[in-house]
């Protein structure tokens, strides 16, 4: 990239959540950060075009539970392009992506049940090597168009952490928002310059500052507030916008959505494997509010009680005020 392009570039990031509403499994909030020239800005804030649209867009449209290898491919290609040591297994890739270290992630786990969420036994990459290479070529073409993807990161909030938040009077929407704030602030600290963050809309919020966590108390100016978009200018950060359907309208949010989908599916699959050690016939539950997940919850009830697995570590509680 030439010096003139660097002078005209800015740091943009897209942030999205996966797993806000399920009964089981973690909430995963993911960011993708890029250096974008003035010429590339218009493409970032528009829907993917041409062949790229088959590999980038709303994760709910492109992938289904149990087949999130496209998100894996994007994560691996971004790590490869960033020059980091390429991971040899999914566990290593999650470690690279996670904003929190392994010790912090495992801190709330009862010692004899940590394997429910963190056992990586029998895990392997599922994405076809050619798909990873193709996504790498997509990244190279975006780079040539003024969109240099730098890195991806995620915040994983397990069921116990979600339940602890509810006990403190926070809804899952607050916890989603607070993870988004963390990712935006981390990107600002890493970049050393102001950033422009675009996030998927959180719940039904139109006004966000009263619900801020990590950014609570910071000065801010309202650029726009409404059902479709709410945006704030925050000294020491730059700007942060919450946009409806951002995962289908913003390239970086789309990437974040796909990567987060892969991380959540991987971690949910660990929960299923852990309980299948006691009952191999358990269904492959997605963790969402569906009949298969209901059967999974009921079928594991007795073994969970016998093994003294805390309910707080298994099923999310509902917030009475939500």
Q: Could you read off the pLDDT of 219-261 as tens digits, one per residue?
A: 999 999 999 999 999 999 999 999 999 988 899 999 999 999 9
Domain contains 97:
yes
Domain contains 279:
no
Asked whether 210 and 230 are in contact (CB, 8 A), the reply is no
pLDDT at 192 over 50: yes
Domain contains 282:
no
Domain contains 320:
no
pLDDT band at 100 (very low <50, low <70, confident <90, very high): very high
Count of structural domains within the chain: 1
Span 188-206, average pLDDT? 93
pLDDT band at 133 (very low <50, low <70, confident <90, very high): very high
Q: How far apart are CA 225 and CA 220, in angstroms?
A: 13
pLDDT at 58 over 70: no
Work out the mean pLDDT of the chain and round it to a whole number: 92
Domain contains 242:
yes
Span 282-301, average pLDDT? 97
Domain CATH for 97: 3.30.420.10
Q: How far apart are CA 202 and CA 186, in angstroms?
A: 19
- Residue 205 CA: distances (Å) to CA of 155, 195, 225, 295: 21, 22, 9, 33
Domain contains 111:
yes
Domain contains 291:
no
Domain contains 306:
no
Q: CA geometry: angle at 159 spanning 121 and 243, to 5°?
A: 110
pTM of the predicted structure, to 2 decimals: 0.93
Domain span holding position 226? 3-271
What pLDDT does 1 receive?
A: 38
Joined tokens for residue 141: 């073409």
Asked whether 297 and 282 are in contact (CB, 8 A), the reply is no
pLDDT band at 59 (very low <50, low <70, confident <90, very high): low
């Amino acid at each position: 990239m030439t010096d003139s392009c660097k002078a005209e570039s800015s740091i943009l990031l897209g942030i999205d959540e996966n797993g806000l509403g399920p009964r089981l499994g973690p909430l995963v909030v993911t960011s993708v950060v890029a250096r974008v020239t003035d010429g590339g800005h218009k493409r970032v804030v528009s829907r993917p075009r041409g062949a790229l649209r088959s590999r980038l867009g709303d994760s709910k449209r492109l992938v289904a539970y149990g087949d999130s290898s496209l998100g894996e491919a994007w994560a691996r290609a971004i790590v490869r392009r960033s020059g980091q040591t390429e991971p040899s297994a999914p566990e290593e890739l999650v470690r690279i992506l996670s904003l929190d270290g392994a010790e912090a992630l495992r801190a709330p786990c009862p010692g004899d049940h940590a394997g429910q969420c963190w056992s990586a036994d029998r895990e392997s990459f599922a994405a076809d090597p050619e798909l990873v290479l193709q996504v790498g070529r997509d990244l190279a073409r975006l780079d040539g168009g003024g969109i240099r993807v730098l890195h991806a990161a995620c915040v994983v909030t397990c069921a116990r952490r979600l339940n602890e938040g509810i006990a403190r009077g926070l809804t899952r929407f607050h916890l989603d928002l607070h993870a988004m704030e963390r990712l935006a602030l981390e990107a600002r600290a890493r970049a050393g310059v102001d950033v422009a963050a675009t996030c998927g809309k959180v719940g039904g919020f139109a006004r966000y500052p009263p619900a801020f966590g990590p950014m609570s108390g910071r000065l801010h100016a309202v650029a726009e507030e409404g059902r479709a978009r709410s945006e704030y200018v925050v000294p020491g950060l730059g700007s942060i916008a919450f946009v409806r359907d951002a995962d289908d309208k913003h390239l970086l949010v789309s990437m974040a959505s796909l990567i987060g989908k892969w991380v959540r599916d991987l971690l949910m699959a660990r929960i299923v494997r852990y309980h299948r050690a006691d009952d191999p016939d358990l269904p492959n539950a997605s963790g969402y509010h569906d009949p298969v997940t209901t059967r999974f919850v009921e079928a594991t009830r007795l073994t969970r009680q016998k093994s003294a697995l805390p309910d707080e570590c298994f099923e999310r509680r509902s917030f009475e005020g939500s």
